[in-house]
Chain A
């Protein structure tokens, strides 16, 4: 069973979406490692190392996602899991910005998949399956 690390990054305590993601991915047959709210980049990375997770799924609902996610890919590389897939979704930036630009910014930061607000988790689930070659 493949492991997926999920959690809410930064000073963000939105727990509802986090539980929905856990529920959906568990039902889809994954070992969901939910590190919960108020998680740091290190929390995600450490959990991924110990569980050999090929994917980290970062949620951010309070608009500070861009600051919280900066440098995460570099830390993954430093920690020896440079190939881990990084997904991010939620309300990851403040205000009404063109999402295409937002996506590009996050891709530059090393994220493999970037989801706009309101994306159903099933859409991410089919991406996960594709990315894991299932």
Chain B
């Protein structure tokens, strides 16, 4: 009998999922507060005790693996040349690797910007710039600045291939913790994610989790293998595509609302239409965006900032909710849980706004251009209008009685024809909080992970 244990070290909670591989079922799940500031093992052991109690007997696990977004997650700085091209490509690679992109710089950096990298406690720098055979000067300039500042943060160079030799020389000259990956944008508008993402993942495993005090756990378990958002991305892709004879759910979106951020994932092609002209940088098939200003606790004030004075007044008139006071209250007490029906309603409203805004930023845009040859459809970003499946995960959605209503805000509720949101999707909830764990479990048993997800991700109205 082979049992597997998956752990998700979140910023607030440590979540455990035990799977019986032979029977293809969840044995039990357990949850305890994350204790990364003291000793991460304490919270893990508390959750493990609960888990074993739920299973009803001591259990031997064949493999114990974890993903982590504890201790601030993976904080990255993306540097490129032109904002719409290599900067955007670098940003997308960071997001696809499960990172939070706290700093983004274009063109020549300044010394003040380089200082910010240290001040913001960035974990990894992704340095890009120039298509292959193109500009090398900018990336080298920036690397020189980083070197002169004596920064010891790991750097991944994923820019113009032609500069690699000079980059290596600078790595040696300044004693930098330097790494080389393929160019994130080898040709104009062509996105190349994999190599740089693998380099980031490698550094995350070898360096970052040790630096954050998460490594201690590896005395108890096998290994920490992924940042949590990347595990969710892996699970989303598997759930969409299916595995061998087991069909997937087809194209889908996943929205994960948390206390600090709202993550949006889409697994689909940019467009299925042949009558549109695609503009801009190529879109990844499995795409993740993160909204650092949209969340129900730490980032609650960000929701209000995204609204105009008039909108806040309208909401107060309409619903009697003082949005400013409610969000300030949540920001002041991030462990706040709704107690009254009113609290629940406000949380629902805030979650709806997060879902709406996050989708607005994730989905592509269609613009009609009048040309002498007639109207031409000009598309930027991804067209999600045919996506039939929208899945909600994260505490605020899973625990809410209004999950369906929150998820509905990802569709085109306000009939904005320019935004390419899912038109008529069905809504599902990851009710047992399994997606990240199944992203981990998929490494051993993709078919089992897929079947468990299909069983436990349930439809909501």
Give the number of A-B contacts (CB < 8 Å): 64
**Given the contacts A11-B371, A13-B376, A38-B369, A50 and B188 also touching, CB distance less than 8 Å:** yes
**A109 at the B interface (CB under 8 A):** no
- B135 and A50 contact, CB distance less than 8 A: yes
Kindly list chain B residues whose C-beta atoms are within 8 Å of the C-beta of A3: 133-134
- Write the nearest CB–CB distance from B118 to chain A, whole angstroms: 27
Contact of B85 among A13, A50, A63, A80 (CB under 8 A): A50
- B130 and A52 contact, CB distance less than 8 A: yes
**Given the contacts A51-B135, A51-B188, A52-B130, A46 and B369 also touching, CB distance less than 8 Å:** no
**A1 at the B interface (CB under 8 A):** yes
The count of chain B contact residues (Cβ–Cβ below 8 Å) is 26
Which A1-31 residues have C-beta < 8 A from chain B? Answer: 1, 3, 11-13, 31
**B279 at the A interface (CB under 8 A):** yes
Chain B residue with the shortest CB-CB distance to A63: B372
Inter-chain CA distance A33–B85, complex, in Å, is: 14
- B372 and A62 contact, CB distance less than 8 A: yes
Kindly list chain A residues whose C-beta atoms are within 8 Å of the C-beta of B136: 52
Q: Number of contact residues on A: which range applies? A: 20 to 34
Kindly list chain A residues whose C-beta atoms are within 8 Å of the C-beta of B187: 33
**A49 at the B interface (CB under 8 A):** yes
**B110 at the A interface (CB under 8 A):** no
**Given the contacts A13-B371, A53-B134, A62-B372, A33 and B188 also touching, CB distance less than 8 Å:** yes
- Write the nearest CB–CB distance from A56 to chain B, whole angstroms: 12
Q: Map CB proximity to A onto B101-137 as digits: 1 under 8 Å, 0 otherwise.
A: 0000001000000000000000000000111011110
- A35 and B188 contact, CB distance less than 8 A: yes
Kindly list chain B residues whose C-beta atoms are within 8 Å of the C-beta of A38: 277, 279, 369, 376, 378
- A46 and B378 contact, CB distance less than 8 A: no
- A13 and B84 contact, CB distance less than 8 A: no
Inter-chain CA distance A46–B81, complex, in Å, is: 9
Inter-chain CA distance A68–B185, complex, in Å, is: 28
Inter-chain CA distance A52–B132, complex, in Å, is: 10
Chain A residue with the shortest CB-CB distance to B370: A11
- A50 and B133 contact, CB distance less than 8 A: no
Chain B at the A interface: SS class: loop
Kindly list chain B residues whose C-beta atoms are within 8 Å of the C-beta of A13: 277, 371, 373, 376
**A121 at the B interface (CB under 8 A):** no
Kindly list chain A residues whose C-beta atoms are within 8 Å of the C-beta of B371: 11-13, 62
Inter-chain CA distance A132–B370, complex, in Å, is: 37
**A72 at the B interface (CB under 8 A):** no
- B86 and A50 contact, CB distance less than 8 A: yes
- A50 and B82 contact, CB distance less than 8 A: yes
Chain B residue with the shortest CB-CB distance to A61: B372
- A46 and B130 contact, CB distance less than 8 A: no
Which B286-343 residues have C-beta < 8 A from chain A? Answer: none
- B378 and A51 contact, CB distance less than 8 A: no
- Write the nearest CB–CB distance from A98 to chain B, whole angstroms: 23
**A47 at the B interface (CB under 8 A):** yes
- B134 and A50 contact, CB distance less than 8 A: yes
Kindly list chain B residues whose C-beta atoms are within 8 Å of the C-beta of A52: 130, 133-136
**A102 at the B interface (CB under 8 A):** no
Kindly list chain A residues whose C-beta atoms are within 8 Å of the C-beta of B400: none
- B369 and A49 contact, CB distance less than 8 A: no
Q: Map CB proximity to B onto A34-46 as digits: 1 under 8 Å, 0 otherwise.
A: 0111100011001
Chain A residue with the shortest CB-CB distance to B378: A38
Kindly list chain B residues whose C-beta atoms are within 8 Å of the C-beta of A12: 371-372
Q: Map CB proximity to A onto B370-385 as digits: 1 under 8 Å, 0 otherwise.
A: 1111001010000000
Q: Map CB proximity to A onto B51-86 as digits: 1 under 8 Å, 0 otherwise.
A: 000000000000000000000000000000110111
Kindly list chain B residues whose C-beta atoms are within 8 Å of the C-beta of A62: 371-373
- A46 and B84 contact, CB distance less than 8 A: yes
Inter-chain CA distance A47–B280, complex, in Å, is: 11
Chain B residue with the shortest CB-CB distance to A37: B277
Residues on A facing B (Cβ under 8 Å) = 1, 3, 11-13, 31, 33, 35-38, 42-43, 46-47, 49-53, 62-63, 80
A-B contacts, 10 of them at CB < 8 A, read: A3-B134, A13-B373, A33-B187, A36-B277, A46-B85, A50-B81, A50-B85, A50-B129, A50-B185, A52-B136
In order of increasing CB-CB distance, the 5 nearest A-B pairs are A51-B134, A46-B82, A52-B134, A11-B371, A47-B188
